[in-house]
Chains A and B, each alone.
Chain A
Amino acid sequence: MPDQIKRLLVVVSVLAILFVVARTFFIPEGFGKFGHYRAGSLDSIATLPVNYAGHTACLDCHSDVDQVKQNSYHRSVNCEACHGPGQKHIESMGDSVLAAPRDRDYCVLCHGYSSAKPTGFPQIDPIAHNPVKACITCHNPHAPDPPKIPGDCSACHAVITRTKALSPHALLECIQCHLTPEEHRVNPRAVKPGKPLVRGDCGICHAQEAPGDKSIPRIDFERHGDGFLCWNCHYPHNPESKKK
């Protein structure tokens, strides 16, 4: 073997040996046990402290509140959603107290109007709805029945109301097209409002012969729309999709 190669081999071998030795010092224990990671990490993460106690933890001491809440509209809202993390409160045996949001800003997070919120979710306009007053003045957060049964559909159907208000149908009452049992006001999910079923329902105003204002657009019922139901094309709450 040429002299140069011998010398280089020495250098390379030394480096290789140093590398192999260093590995035993630097690779942490448990690395590779479950996969290409440090097995100890699973424990480090699993034993991190918990801040939210979970919905069942409150029941041990506050079952009375829960009894009320579980029959109310807020039955699916967990305690800590409004009261914040409760683990410290439990661990301190009640010494550290949980905050209860009392100002308007908090309830509005869920109940403030937004067009992106799903249909039928109870929403109010925070500026118009009893301004300045704290929500809890009229609504018990654990049984948030409105003090008065909602008179207006807009209490829950805010997007539709606002959309309709910008449309040619602005002056139409909701109940003119939707026959709604009274119970819907208290039990909205169980009892639903009715909807028009046949073309003739729109024809009450829009047929050629229909009585009513001359400005209401009239169509030839035989021919218009190929016999499809009117709302297949026209959104009844904003029929021409135009702003007023």
Chain B
Amino acid sequence: MDRLTEQLAHALKSITGYIYPNEIELHWGILIVIYPYLTGLVAGAFILASLVKVFKVKALEPTYRLALLTALSFLIIAPVPLLSHLGHPERFYEILFTPNSKSAMAMFGFVYAWYLMMVLLLEIWFDYRAELVRWAEESTGFKRLAYRALALWSSDKSDKALAFDKRAVRLITLVGIPSAFLLHGYVGFIFGSIKANPWWSSVLIPVVFLFSSIVSGIALMLVIYLVTSLWRRKKIDMPCIDKMSEFLLYALIIDFSLELLDFVHRLYQSEESIEILGNMISGRLFISLIIVQMLMGTILPLIALGITRVRRRVLPEELRRMIYLLAAIFVQAGIFSTRWNVVIGGQLFSKSLRGLTIYKMEVLGIEGLLMAILLLVLPFVILGVIVKILPPWEEEVHSPTI
């Protein structure tokens, strides 16, 4: 409580204008910035995977399983920042047993459960089932038991069963696309439905969140694919990453258009909040919004990927790879910044529309920078473990490497 008092005392001195006395404390900090970032990556990675199965984009086949496993790793960690942030995490079960059906946040618990179980886990299971059966047969002892359990003790390898698996995957992906939209659009809705906050309250927020999630998911897969290929010393499938960056470009164009629309719409309508929001953007949020989100995260990658798309045949492979990698990293920074600007930005200005406060992130503690970094690194650790149990690499389909 003393650290809190210190923080708040510091904030009190840094207020400009007038804020309601209770607004001195910023309630949703870095943990709540990380949460939509993670679910965005989940939805985006899944959409990339769906491009393969539903839209039959063959070039992206090498990333299909990797994208599913990435989505799973990030989905597993996604609730952790939420739980850590709660005042009473031990009461979290209340959201499952007495959800308020009028609350977006309550319904999200079920959307999450649906997506995890009925979409992601189910699809992974159907896709891997045949191999799980085979790996079980090829292993002994504990590994054998583990694989049999993962396969739910099924042993059917007949053509009919395999065909069923294939159809199931296709159907689940089909259902999965709107589910992924729901998963992350819902997070946008949690903010967008708050009429008290003019920075959040917008019809566009769920849509912007959705497309920025697609952008970040594709960019993430680009980075993961490049890094894992280099790590495993495998040749990079150029048509694959060319295609990925092409879709990244298209998604970026849509995302940029939506954000531009929101911006122009706000300026044009010029509602009462425009003054304080303008102050906030040109002051507290200048670096994170104008520099990182707009310039670094959107405009530069748009230009770079536009050039590589148009001049693909002219540019050498190595240069293209470098540009893709850099663009993807910039995009990640930009999307993270987008989440920051929405969550933190929405709390930096007073609902009296007369003042601004500050957010000073701690380094230690459960809401601190170190915890944030841990939460961002953990999904990769989990991914590292999962790819050992369920290898997504085509060449290693015969011998799991646990």
**CB < 8 Å neighbour of A3 from B98, B117, B122, B154:** B154
Stretch at the interface among A20-28, A45-53, A195-203: A20-28
| B35 within 8 Å of A (CB atoms) | no
Chain A interface (Cβ within 8 Å of chain B)?
Answer: 2-4, 7-8, 10-11, 15, 19, 22-23, 26-27, 31, 36
Q: Is the Cβ of A26 less than 8 Å from the Cβ of B97?
A: yes
| B380 within 8 Å of A (CB atoms) | no
Chain B interface secondary structure, helix, strand, loop or mixed?
helix
Minimum distance in angstroms from A8 CB to a CB of chain B: 7
In the bound assembly, the distance between CA atoms of A26 and B100 in angstroms comes to 15
Nearest to A23 among chain B residues (CB) is B97
Minimum distance in angstroms from A59 CB to a CB of chain B: 35
Q: Is the Cβ of A8 less than 8 Å from the Cβ of B152?
A: yes
Contact with A along B146-175 (1 / 0, CB 8 A): 000000111010000100110010000000
In the bound assembly, the distance between CA atoms of A27 and B161 in angstroms comes to 42
In the bound assembly, the distance between CA atoms of A19 and B113 in angstroms comes to 12
Q: Which 5 A-B pairs have the closest CB atoms?
A: A7-B152, A26-B97, A3-B156, A23-B97, A2-B164
**CB < 8 Å neighbour of A36 from B98, B122, B164, B168:** B98
Q: Is the Cβ of B165 less than 8 Å from the Cβ of A7?
A: no
Given contacts A7-B154, A26-B93, contact A2 B98 (CB under 8 A): no
Minimum distance in angstroms from B111 CB to a CB of chain A: 16
In the complex, which residues 77-115 of chain B have their Cβ closer than 8 Å to any Cβ of chain A? 93-94, 96-98, 100
The interface residues of chain A lying within 8 Å CB-to-CB of B125 are 8
- Counting contact residues on chain B (CB < 8 A from A), the size range is 10 to 19
Minimum distance in angstroms from B233 CB to a CB of chain A: 36
In the complex, which residues 121-137 of chain B have their Cβ closer than 8 Å to any Cβ of chain A? 122, 125-126, 129
Q: Which of A8, A19, A27, A31 has the most CB of B within 10 A?
A: A8
Given contacts A23-B97, A31-B98, contact A4 B161 (CB under 8 A): yes
The interface residues of chain A lying within 8 Å CB-to-CB of B154 are 3-4, 7
Q: Which of B96, B152, B165 has the most CB of A within 10 A?
A: B152
Q: Is the Cβ of A27 less than 8 Å from the Cβ of B97?
A: yes
Minimum distance in angstroms from B196 CB to a CB of chain A: 21
In the bound assembly, the distance between CA atoms of A143 and B164 in angstroms comes to 93
**CB < 8 Å neighbour of B165 from A4, A22, A26, A27:** A4
A-B CB contact pairs (8 Å), 28 listed: A2-B161, A2-B164, A3-B154, A3-B156, A3-B161, A4-B126, A4-B129, A4-B152, A4-B154, A4-B156, A4-B161, A4-B164, A4-B168, A7-B152, A8-B122, A8-B152, A10-B152, A11-B152, A22-B93, A22-B97, A23-B97, A26-B94, A26-B97, A27-B97, A27-B98, A31-B98, A36-B98, A36-B100
